[in-house]
Structure 1
Amino acid sequence: MTRRTTTHPDLTRPETGALFFSTWRVGTPVRQRQTVEAIADTWQRRPWPADGLLGYHVYTGHDGSTLLHYSQWRSEDAYEAFVKTHRQERVDEIDVAVPGIERLWLGRYRHHRSGGREGDTRVPGCVVIVDVEFEGPDPDRQRAWVDAVFEALESEPTPHPGGIAGHFHLSTDGTRVLNYAEWESAQAHIEALAAPGDGIGSATELWHRVQNWPGLKSSTVSRYEHALGLVPD
């Protein structure tokens, strides 16, 4: 069966072979809550759909309009089998409950590298998604950019204490990097952004290098709150 949980996902599960992030626009905070409950109801009234699905989590955007979806799979094949046999009936039922949902984007990723304070057991109060896009596919560039971020973080003279961990994912098409960053609170992240420098990080040469990487096309930052976890019972 399907069990609802408030526990955040473990972003470093070794058995995860494929990760999917997607966003929906629903329009208002009320519709955000309605959609979360429609997803929960639709899933909980059905058996867990596949052994290959490890967990499915939904987050409400602090913009009051969007939802972020994150799912962990053993393989892309397991996901494709779910799409063929189970996905559409669930989507249809959710759309009946909350008409007019806009499904904006679906991305396929692999976990690449995580970092944080060793032994930090704080529960994130805010999840910050940093979505970086490059000009064209280049897996070597993806990895090199993430390594440069870690160099800058490790040399950071004034790290904000509200940061918990960062989990970097590489898109399978070679064009994007997505950082799922765990923060103690949204306010802590807002304060870190307001500190001297251009975004998170001090005004160092290493951060300048990260922010001006050759081929860097765009970078967006969005804050979310964990709203729903669904796992096999």
Structure 2
Amino acid sequence: MTTPGSTPTPTPTPASAPAPHPLRTTAFPDVRRPDAATALVSAWIVPDPGVLRPAAEAVLGEWERQPRPDAMLSLSVFLGADGRHLLNYAQWTDDDAHREWVRTRRPAAIGRVDDALPGIERPGPVRYRRHRSYVPRRPQQAPGDRPTLLVTPTFATTGPDAQRALADTVVDELVRAQVPGLLGAHVHLSQDGHRALNFAEWTGEEAWRTFATGEVAARLRAAIAALEGVTPAAPLGAAPQLPGGPGAAEAPDASGTPTPTHYRLYQSLVNIPASAPADTRDPISAEAPANALAPRATSSEGA
């Protein structure tokens, strides 16, 4: 309200208003949230291990200080076991909003990171959509169980049919086996039909090693090997097998740097909280909404 003769106080426009402060958390992302139609997965390769944590902090800090579109739901940054790789897992409601951010804001944000931390390589993101998930029946989980280890077996595929066959094979076998220590396996399919990624959440390294050397992993490797149009492939172009299988050791990517498949969460940034926590939905073999699976063109734009 103004008094006679006073100057009205201007109302800030949405563009000039400060961005609401997002939530920082040490929890893994809610991979199954239904509004996440697009998952952008990208690696940053740092020049030495001493840059790994500063780079993780830098990318989260850039997102905190800039205006964020509501289409940007969350960003989780994972630290690679080799000390050289960051894995960025970003959830968006749609690709067009992300491309607009890339066009208008990414150059300045990345420029500030590179000024502070030169020498980071960015091979580029892959655009995925989550297709199917396995989570164990709740009685098999101890109260308070939460993932501490991310394992990311990735596969090259010849098209959508091969992608879906792989997803069905992985999830169906895990549903039968109910692997101890595996808190979630979320199969993501790239939008171009050429990749599939298993975002596998484990209680820790010991549980993963027990699985990787056991009968369930052996059956799963054999089942995947029998699929047409499916070839193990590292996230950045190397070729490790399913964790625990022959060739599962880290292999060099296109830059000559080993690509890890094991990561620890640094932090997650939640811009828009999920309307319904994943734990309230079907705990077994949940599928993504059908309208989230429509194919779209991929892009090499940065995440």
Give matches, 1:50-61, under 5 Å. 50-61=69-80
1:113 deviation in Å?
0.6
Residue 146 (str. 1) matches residue 167 (str. 2):
yes
1:19-44 C-alpha deviation (Å, 9 max, x unpaired)? 10001110333210111122233232
Give matches, 1:1-233, under 5 Å. 1-3=20-22, 4-47=24-67, 49-119=68-138, 120=141, 122-134=145-157, 136=158, 138-156=159-177, 160-193=179-212, 195-196=213-214, 201-204=216-219, 207-219=221-233, 220=240, 222-232=261-271
Aligned equivalents of 1:152 and 1:207: distance in 2? 11
For residue 44 of structure 1, give the secondary structure of its aligned residue in structure 2.
helix
CA gap of 1:160–1:153, structure 2 versus 1, over 3 A, is: closer
For residue 90 of structure 1, give the secondary structure of its aligned residue in structure 2.
helix
Count how many residue pairs are aligned between Structure 1 and Structure 2.
223
Percent identity between matched residues is 35
CA gap of 1:122–1:93, structure 2 versus 1, over 3 A, is: same
- 1:10 maps to amino acid: D
- 2:166 maps to amino acid: W
Aligned equivalents of 2:211 and 2:34: distance in 1? 31
| Residues 47, 119 of structure 2: 8 Å contact kept | no
Aligned equivalents of 1:154 and 1:17: distance in 2? 24
TM-score by length of 2: 0.69
> Which protein is bigger by CA-based radius of gyration?
2
1:15 deviation in Å?
0.8
Aligned equivalents of 2:48 and 2:211: distance in 1? 27
| Residues 133, 216 of structure 1: 8 Å contact kept | yes
**Which has the larger share of strand?**
1
Unaligned 5+ segments in structure 1 are none
Query: Where do 4+ consecutive residues of structure 1 move more than 4 Å?
Result: none
